[in-house]
Structure 1
């Protein structure tokens, strides 16, 4: 082949490669533009969906819709309630909008809302707790009360007697009915024959508005159980991951509630209990002895510790059969998120300040320092 022919072949091949490169570039460009177009279209659709979800459902709506926000409701529950009532378009958009704006501390109550309200108006209403429907009366269950003490609160604030309350909350048929109503909260664990009162620990301490002139006793009881169900909901995944039961968590929380003097102490006390359980040591917490005796003990004596009862944590290892009080949210949180410490002992001095120790020798030193002088 002549030199001229070789050059011609090379030129033809180079031209072909240039054409191929141009073709590849065109294809890449087309794919890029198509992907960009799809992204722009998708973004526009998403933007339209989100902005539409943040507009009032019906700007011209004049009628109001009653929305009940239960005590202890979190943002997920509130958003779901609002969508179910038809005052927002999408609970997820409302929830993310509230989180993006750092909105929290919503108030429970019965609200008269409108489909013409914007998300900002709804959030402001929920934050200020502007309740359009005034309760007929309300009653408060303080943290740390047991069922017998709650019965006295009910007697003082309603037309029911303490005996009627105790009769209802210990009625076997009614308890089984409640297990069916609250299957995610109440389980067969509360039917353990060693448990004194199956519903102990399941009546959430809070202030309860009542909107009926003559509510049934069942309504009051289920209002308190429903609040516990709402408050335990954020912890369900954590409880399952730790392979614990709600009953165990509420039992631990009740011990923390009775021992803690200040909010700061709760997690440290919970850590003491967890450390003792891990070491196979009895919990030895005085409130369980008082509960075993069924009365308040001004001071726990050595003779009190001799009572043969499943709740006596001086004689029995592990948690008692069930809660000994009705714990608030901070004690429930402490039971699930105790401080990381090496403490195995604690005691409260006469002023109510708790002192923690890692060893029994340190505990004895605390006793001599903080208690002996008061004996």
Structure 2
């Protein structure tokens, strides 16, 4: 083989080796790009799915009505939840539910929130109840006055008693409550003799909040909102009885402060109704204490003469407004009192009430049970 042929073969060999190196580089670069794309897509997909499984709005305090008809498929339910803004992605919700064996949703009407987690939504739809873990709860017992509720709010939040009282007695807030709940908060709260316009309008209950520090306005509004929800149930009956909502809440507040047992409320209510019908003053001690503006273990004879619109010893009929915030038992007793002829009652040292039809009988009870 001559030298020229050898040189040509050597050139071809070098060219092939060069081409092979280029091909290897291209393969390596292409492989690296593919792997990078897979990783990017994978990681991106992971974070996308994780994001889609988070609540739509953790700060939301609204509830959305969701209808789940009988026989609804998971696709239909997921689409409805996305359309109503309860979840971010219907497909991801569907696959997540199936993967976690979340089928078996119950038909019904739900009030779900954009702040709920996927797990809370699934649990609610499976059990037929709305499950959501509150960040903060506040319990308001029955029978507290508005300033006692203010003290409880101050004890359980970062707000002061003064801040709460400033809010619930402000003209702007009262006007807003009248606008939001016109059937419940009426012009009756504007009576010049009323101490606090919203006394009796802050419903005693346990309130759940889904933010760690709800605003003071949110807390107070929820209490009035709950009173409105209860009142709405009784509006037809109140219309039949020709009793206003304000009278309803006022009457119930007297029962709340007088009753020592749930079974007594209906009987005490009958006493009050009987006394009103006969033109007798109600003569209930809690109104005297409210008039005095302080708690006393025993009401003295001189206290009964205090000149105040709330004193039911010196004024006939109901006081200008509620003297406390009544619970459901007192509200029910106001609507459905017992049928009796009693016009007197007195409580013994154990808190048991003794009823009488005549003053003479009442005097005997006082002599027997009041030591």
Q: Which residue of 2 aligns with 1:294?
A: 293
Cα distance, 1:357–1:156 mapped onto 2, change above 3 Å: same
Quick one: distance in 2 between partners of 1:243 and 1:113? 48
Q: Which residue of 1 aligns with 2:72?
A: 56
Q: Which residue of 2 aligns with 1:156?
A: 155
- 2:176 equivalent to 1:173: no
SS at match of 1:347: strand
Cα distance, 1:220–1:67 mapped onto 2, change above 3 Å: farther
Quick one: distance in 2 between partners of 1:347 and 1:267? 15
Aligned ranges 1:74-89 → 2 under 5 Å: none
CA contact (8 A) 1:67 1:111 kept: no
Q: Which residue of 1 aligns with 2:218?
A: 219
The total of aligned residue pairs comes to: 280
Quick one: distance in 2 between partners of 1:333 and 1:186? 19
SS at match of 2:302: helix
5+ long unaligned stretches in structure 1: 1-51, 69-86, 95-109
Cα distance, 1:295–1:111 mapped onto 2, change above 3 Å: same
Quick one: distance in 1 between partners of 2:215 and 2:85? 22
Quick one: distance in 1 between partners of 2:250 and 2:345? 19
CA contact (8 A) 1:252 1:335 kept: yes
SS at match of 1:263: coil
Aligned ranges 1:9-28 → 2 under 5 Å: none
CA contact (8 A) 1:67 1:113 kept: no
Per-residue deviation, residues 104-139 of structure 1 (Å, max 9, x unmatched) = xxxxxx87799x989xx859442xxx62x3211111
CA contact (8 A) 2:177 2:224 kept: no
CA contact (8 A) 1:346 1:356 kept: yes
TM-score, structure 2 length as denominator? 0.70
Q: Which residue of 2 aligns with 1:140?
A: 139
Q: Which residue of 2 aligns with 1:348?
A: 347
TM-score, structure 1 length as denominator? 0.69
Please report how far the alpha carbon of residue 210 of structure 1 lies from its aligned counterpart in structure 2 after TM superposition.
1.3
Quick one: distance in 2 between partners of 1:251 and 1:137? 30
Quick one: distance in 2 between partners of 1:138 and 1:58? 33
5+ long unaligned stretches in structure 2: 1-67, 87-104
CA contact (8 A) 1:57 1:89 kept: no
- Greater shift in the superposed pair: 169-178 or 301-310: 169-178
Cα distance, 1:67–1:270 mapped onto 2, change above 3 Å: farther
Structure ID, larger Rg: 2
Q: Which residue of 1 aligns with 2:261?
A: 262
Aligned ranges 1:168-317 → 2 under 5 Å: 168-317=167-316
Q: Which runs of 4+ in 1 moved over 6 A?
A: 65-68, 87-91, 110-114
Quick one: distance in 1 between partners of 2:264 and 2:85? 38
Per-residue deviation, residues 5-59 of structure 1 (Å, max 9, x unmatched) = xxxxxxxxxxxxxxxxxxxxxxxxxxxxxxxxxxxxxxxxxxxxxxx94322656
